[in-house]
Structures are given as structure tokens and as C-alpha cells.
Structure 1
Amino acid sequence: MKRVLIISQHFYPEIGSHANRIKHLFLQLKKKKYDVTVFTAEPSYPNKKIYSNADFWDDESLNRENNIMRINISSRKYSNSIINRLLYYIEIALKLIFLIIKDKKRYDYIFVTSPPIFTGLVGLFAKYRYKTKLVLDIRDLWPESLKGVEVFNYPIILKFFGTLEKTLYKKSDKIVINSLGFQDHIQNKAGILKSKIIFIPNGAVEEEIALKNREKNDTKKIIYAGNLGLAQNTLLINQLVPLLDEQGIHLTIIGYGVNKKQLIHSIKDYKNVTIINPVTRKEVFKIISEHDLGLVTLKEKDVFKTVLPGKIIDYMTCGVPIVGVVDGYAKEMIEKERVGIVSNTPDPKKIVSIIKTLLEDKKLCKEMSERAQQVILKNFNWDVNINKLVEYMK
């Protein structure tokens, strides 16, 4: 039986696409009869206290798992300060390295996921410590995304991070990407062959694909589910709320992230908004499925043209048509698969017009809903896509 060590800052029971991706990877490799160990941090995203709620620990098989090793971290929640967050990342990386030094096992493969890039460096350390092969999972381009959020402007440090990024690409034995938009950047940055890269997107397992049986009534409901962070256009959501209110359209936000508090404060007087604190993935899917449309936004920066936000996959899994304010790869995917409509401008009035068009065309929405779940089964199915990694590991 081959042994795999997964190194990830986030893991079950944390919310968010990072933890969910690694949870699925762990379970899929176990199903394929690999001996899998996880080195991770204790759950803390978006803050530690929510995981005192037993509802988040809803997978008994994982609760009983002996091969999940967690490090303690001193920070209790994510900081708005980039400097503080970098220190937080460094603390986790150093403690993971110490865990690796103490570990006496041997592994056939190290699977490490980045960003943060410091976790990637832990994986590189592990490659040489265990004298084995390194699979590098890239979920976001870093430090490119750091430049995109425009809150960290230290050219010398960014150049240093860029050198680390290039080193990771070169030294890894295989690179896994969750967005095809990353492929050209990685090849050009490190001068590597396309054959070194495997595309395994975020996805769902078949039992997560909900049949949308909600009876239609006169309520018009749109949802935003996910991170309200530095990359997402939360200002646009703020601008949309009064316009949606005028049209009698209800917005549900299941959100977390550094901009959540500010957004909630700015829209607190509107009656057409429901704010829901973070809940389990199962509950999120249930709530999403009760809505007519799903909203996704990203800021207008080149680096964000390469990403495929996890909430797009979640909306499609639930059979909910997408209203997108995105560009690049995400826009191409939504339009190619005909699972929603993308605005070519962040103009709130244009976006409300798209929302109204979709809400009034029940036939089109039904077609988009059915097509979305078919696309998930075909292209974003963990049970199928894991075979790309297993084929390499053979």
C-alpha cells in the first residue's frame, strides 16, 4: 500500500473551498486504498470559536481518523493586516516543519497545497526530509493574487516571493491546478512542460448533487455564498442591495471574511437582505438550493481572470443559475456551459437587469439548472477526476 502525506493549512471541519478540496482529496485517496496522513493546523478559519459547535464536526469517519495530525496556533482569527497574516502563515509553516522533523514515517508521495506559499515551502522541505516525490497543488497564483488585492506593496518582498514561487514549480515532481487559467502562467514562470501539470478542479461527489424540488412561488431569491474578502467586489454587493430592494428581490448572504463586518453595517437598514453566519457545507447546499440565482463577484484585476471561484461549483452542484461579475476563465466557463449570465461591466443597474431577465424566464432558468448539474457530473466530479492523480501515482 502506497503512503501519501498531505500537508495543508486548512482541512475538515473548516469551511471554505480550500478545506473542502483537501477533505475530498483525502477521502478519495483512501477509497483508492492509499495510506493517507494529513499534517494540518487546528481549525481556525474564519475564527476558532465557531468550531466549538459540534455541528461542524459532522463526519464521524474523519472524527475517528488517527492519521490527521494538527498543530496548535496562537492566533485566534484571521487578521485584516497583511503583515499580521504573513506572521500567522510563518508560524504555521515553522510548526509544520517541526512536526515533519519529529515524524518517523516514510511516504511515497508528498502532496502539498498552496497558497499560502509558506505551506508550499514546507512541502519542499518534506520532499528532501523524506527523500520522496512532491506533488504541488496550486489553488491560486501567489504572490500574483497578493498584488491583485492591492494591500501589500513591498516590491523587494514581492520579488522574493516570486523567486520562491518559481523554485516550487521547478522542484516539484508534479503540479496540480484547480483552474486551467493557471496553466500558461506556471509554464511561462518556470519554463516547464505542459505534461508536468494536471488539471483537477474543485468539484462535488455525486451524493452532493441536489435535485432542485423547491416549489416556485412569488418570492424572488438570489444568494451570495462564500468569502467576503479582499478579492471579492463587496462594494458592488453594497450597491446592489437598494436596487434589488426596489425590485422586490431578496438577497441572502452566507458570508465570512475580512470585509463582512463592513458590508453588513452598510446594508443593515434594508429589509430585503438576510445575513446567515457560517454553517456546514451540507447546510450551505440546502440553503443555496432554495434560491433562484447565485451571485459571484471578483475585482477587475488580471490575476483574478485566471481563477474559478469555488462558489461557482457550489451553485452548479445545487442547480442554481449563476449571475457572474467575473472575467477570464470563470466567465468563459459560465458562458461556454450556458449555466448563467455574466455581466461585462460591474455596473449595478446592468447586473440587476440580468437578474430580472433570469427571474422572469423560468424556462431558461430550468435549462441552466439541469445543464449545471450535468456539467458537474461530467467535468467536476471528484470520483472521476481523482483518477488523474492516481494514474500519476501508479
Structure 2
Amino acid sequence: MRIVYLHQYFFTRTMIGVAGNRSYEFARRLVAMGHEVDMVTSYTHATRDEPLEWFETNEDGIRVHWLPVPYSNKMAFRERIGAFLRFAIGASRKAASLDGDVVFATSGPLTIAIPGLYASWSRGVPLVFEVRDLWPEGAIQLGVLTNPLAKWLARRLERLTYRNARHIVALSPGMRDGILAAGIDGGKVTVIPNAADLDLFHPRIDGASMRLQNGLDGRFCIAYFGTMGLANGLGFVLDAAAELKRRNVSDIVFMLHGDGMERPILEARARGEGLDNIIFSGPTPKHLMAELVSAVDVCMTIFKNVPVLRTCSPNKLFDSLAAGKPILTNMPGWLGSIAEEEKTGVLVTPDDPVDFADKAIWLRDHPQELKVFSVNARRVAEEQFSRDVLARRLETVLRQAAVKSEKHSSTRIAPAGE
């Protein structure tokens, strides 16, 4: 099977970027299964004056087509929209020039649907669309997308894509519910969550040297790994740090590891409030992250308290589970159930720094419970979120879409309202 795989932000384990490496991990496994994969992506580290010319590399058997389009989580919203549209236009031409039995487009951004639909229509092959976040609803609830015309256009694109995709992949049960709420039949949607890289993260990895390097000896460290953006709501962590400082708790420290547009704001606030129980570090390529994750005591999965974000499927959670790390999250729903029902960690009350501080102290004071959480975390990673198992599930979805296409002589673009 020939797969044209569209993802604006493709990164291998050795690259530092603005997104996780789900596309890389799945694509290399598809290649190992005997399929041909053309990845159409952007080179986000390009300079603004770099020519908009495609170049090609081979990454573990994946043919990767790169278009230089600068992008950073620190960009203003208008700059991001410009990057989305530049890539969408260039990727439409590139994707349509590639032979494939199926087009697989993964969002965000939602604009990846434009080259996905165009390639599907022009080549007469099916589109499988992957929903990593419920956009534009997320941008609307976060207050980022406010223009009425822009909201209308984004919602039209969302529904046009859902209706014309042969199949849709959702990254969480909540995302599936959001897709069904748009009028899509449940038989058209498969949940394939983010996955645990069981070969990279493991409880047996020794993090002692990283503890020394980061000044964590004798301190109980609760760490966040990932993007520091508006959606992540990491001011909540600083609120909890301030509460612990008010109580004169000096042996609990929060590590914020990564980058993003909110990091300078968070750093300035931590300095201004004298929060010496906050450590900023990173970012780091994923292949070097395992030892650092093993060095901390608990891993956080934190989001801004916005309803749509409760549907998220964050990479950081699954890496933490694979490493056997207890989980602390402020997200009720699916993520909270993984912590509480699977007994892998604790759920803190959103927007309640007192409860956050109480739970941090409880975790520090209950080492036996932490051991239970750790064992359960690795078990859940192996039983529910194995990257190899989920890659085979994706391969089945793509293969069935391609087989169904052979039974239809043409691919038709249906209006968004059909």
C-alpha cells in the first residue's frame, strides 16, 4: 500500500520541535509492515528569507518531503495562521503529485485538511483524517479565534472534511464524541490514542545522574514535560508553588521542561514572586528524555480549565506511563479516569491551588502508594497504549479505506452540509 501522509509538524526522536513524534513512530512502523510512505511536512526551523522550495530526506525508510515554513509556539496568532496557509497551499500541490492508495492527513492544524481533500479529489483516492484536537472548538473556547467569519469558515472546513473523509481517527473517546456531535456516523470513527514508546521509556532506567545534574537530590520533584502554551494553563502550577511556599514546604519542587509562548511569562512571574521551588529546563530531543523522566518522582499532565481540553490525548501522559511514573492531572474525564480508576495517580481540582498543594504533599508522604501507582502506570502503558499495537490498528484503518476505494470508481467531494 502506498500512503501519502500529511502532517505539518513531523519530528523524529532526535529532533527538537513543536509537536510530538506520533507521525514518525507510526510511519516507520508502516514502512516496516511493507508499505511505502511519503511524508509531506514543513521544515519549521527555516528562516523567514529561506526560499519556499521543497527538499527530500529519508528517515528510517520514510520519504520525507520538507517545505521550509518557519513556525514556533511563540508566534502570535496571525503569524501562525500565515504559516498554516502557506503550508496548506504548498502541500496541496506536493500531495497531489504523489502516487498513493490512500491519503492520511493528521491535524492540527485544521488547515491540513485542505491538502488532504485536494489530493484525495485530484488523485481519486480516499482520505483518512486524524483528529488530534477538536478544532476550531478549542481555539474558540480558549478565546483565540473570535472573528465571526473566521469561526464560520473553520467550522465549515471541519464539517466538509469529516463528511468527505472515508474514515476518521480520533485520539480520545471525548474527541470521538465531538465528531459524532457534528453529525458523523459512529461507524466511520476509530479511536487510536497517543501511545507509549515502551522501548524508550521504562521504570528500570536509572535517573540518578539527572537528579544530581538538575539539583533534585533530597527534593520531591513533580515534573511537566511539553509545550508551554495558552492551552496548558501552567500558571496553575505556579499557584500551587506559591501555596507550598506560603506553608514553608521547601522539599517539593516543580520542574517545567519544554518551551512555548508562555514560558517567558511564567519565568518572569516565578522570578517576581521568588518561587525558588520552580525549575525551568529544556527543551530536549525525545531520545534523550527517558533518563530525565526517570529522574523525577511524579509527572504532571496540566491543561487550562476549558471543557474542550478535557478531550485531549497528550503525548506527555503516555511517556510518563511507560516510564512507570505516577500521574498528577487536573483534567476530569478520560485523563482523570486513567489516574483514578486505573490507580496510576491523583486528580487535583481544577483551578484550586490549595488542593494541588495538598495532593503534592500527600504524594511526597506516601511512598508505598507511589510504588503501586508506578506498577499500574507501566501495566496500563503495556496493556492499553503500546505503540506497536496502535500502529497495527492504524494500518488496518488505512488498508480498509484503500480496499473500499477499489470498489468505488471515483472520489466525490460532498458539500459540508450533505
Same fold per superposition (TM over 0.5): yes
Structure 1 CA distance for aligned equivalents of residues 18 and 290 of structure 2: 13
Q: Which residue of the partner structure matches residue 33 of structure 1?
A: 34
Do the aligned partners of 2:3 and 2:103 also contact (CA within 8 Å) in 1? yes
Do the aligned partners of 1:241 and 1:267 also contact (CA within 8 Å) in 2? no
Q: Alpha-carbon deviations, 1:274-293, whole Å to 9, x = none?
A: 21121111222221111111
Gaps of 5+ in 2: 49-56, 212-216, 401-418
Do the aligned partners of 2:327 and 2:345 also contact (CA within 8 Å) in 1? yes
**Structure 1 residues 64 and 361, CA gap change in structure 2 (3 angstroms):** closer
Q: Which residue of the partner structure matches residue 231 of structure 1?
A: 231
Cα deviation for residue 327 of structure 1 reads 2.3
Bigger RCO of structures 1 and 2 (CA < 8 A, at least 6 apart): 2
Structure 1 letter corresponding to 2:184: I
Q: Alpha-carbon deviations, 1:329-367, whole Å to 9, x = none?
A: 222222221111101232112101101111111111011
Structure 2 letter corresponding to 1:125: Y
Whether 2:286 is the aligned partner of 1:281: answer yes
Q: Residues 1-394 of structure 1: matches in 2 within 5 Å?
A: 2-13=1-12, 14-15=15-16, 18-44=19-45, 63=59, 65=61, 67-73=63-69, 75=70, 77-101=72-96, 103=97, 105-189=98-182, 191-212=183-204, 213=206, 218-245=218-245, 246-248=248-250, 249-268=252-271, 269-392=274-397, 393-394=399-400
Cα deviation for residue 208 of structure 1 reads 1.8
**Structure 1 residues 66 and 317, CA gap change in structure 2 (3 angstroms):** closer
Q: TM-score, normalised to structure 1's length?
A: 0.89
Q: Alpha-carbon deviations, 1:266-323, whole Å to 9, x = none?
A: 1134333321121111222221111111122212212112112222112112111111
Structure 1 CA distance for aligned equivalents of residues 218 and 149 of structure 2: 56
Greater shift in the superposed pair: 213-222 or 87-96: 213-222
Cα deviation for residue 179 of structure 1 reads 1.0
Gaps of 5+ in 1: 50-60
Structure 2 CA distance for aligned equivalents of residues 339 and 17 of structure 1: 27
Cα deviation for residue 326 of structure 1 reads 1.4
Structure 2 letter corresponding to 1:40: T
Do the aligned partners of 1:222 and 1:250 also contact (CA within 8 Å) in 2? yes
Structure 2 CA distance for aligned equivalents of residues 107 and 72 of structure 1: 23
Structure 2 CA distance for aligned equivalents of residues 235 and 30 of structure 1: 41
Cα deviation for residue 17 of structure 1 reads 8.2
How many residues align? The count is 376
Do the aligned partners of 2:300 and 2:329 also contact (CA within 8 Å) in 1? yes
Q: Percent identity?
A: 23
**Structure 1 residues 136 and 18, CA gap change in structure 2 (3 angstroms):** farther
What is the RMSD computed on CA atoms of the aligned residues? 2.2
Q: Which residue of the partner structure matches residue 403 of structure 2?
A: none
Q: Which residue of the partner structure matches residue 58 of structure 1?
A: none
Cα deviation for residue 66 of structure 1 reads 6.6
Cα deviation for residue 10 of structure 1 reads 0.6
